[in-house]
Amino acid sequence: MEQRSKNKRALSQREAFSYPGISIPEARIKVATKQTNIALALRRGDLELAERLATALTRSKEARVLAVYRVITNKGYRTKGYKDRKPTTSEEFTQLVDRLW
């Protein structure tokens, strides 16, 4: 029981970052949908459409928000994540996302 409450608290802390108008769960859904559309276009053999969709995905705000979020929250052994001082507020998170492009 205690373990579950710790996990819930950790999840709420991780989900604390947000970009104006985009939340992390929304970004995950939109990026997954765009990736699915790319895969379907490739399966149909429409390479031009797949290339346009891939370009749109890499330039989308949702993909940038999700990329910054994944790097910040990464605690892996081989890739430790962000080496500088990690952001603690949504404003700092927004600045990192804006610096990405």
- pLDDT, tens digit, 9 for 90 and up, residues 49-82: 999 999 999 999 999 999 988 888 877 676 666 6
Per the model's pLDDT, the better-predicted residue between 83 and 6 turns out to be: 83
Predicted pLDDT of residue 11: 41
| Nearest CA-CA partner of 23 in 70, 71, 62 | 62
Mean pLDDT (the chain) is 82
Tokens 């939109």, residue? 30
pLDDT at 14 exceeding the cut of 70: no
Sign of CA dihedral 59, 60, 63, 67: positive
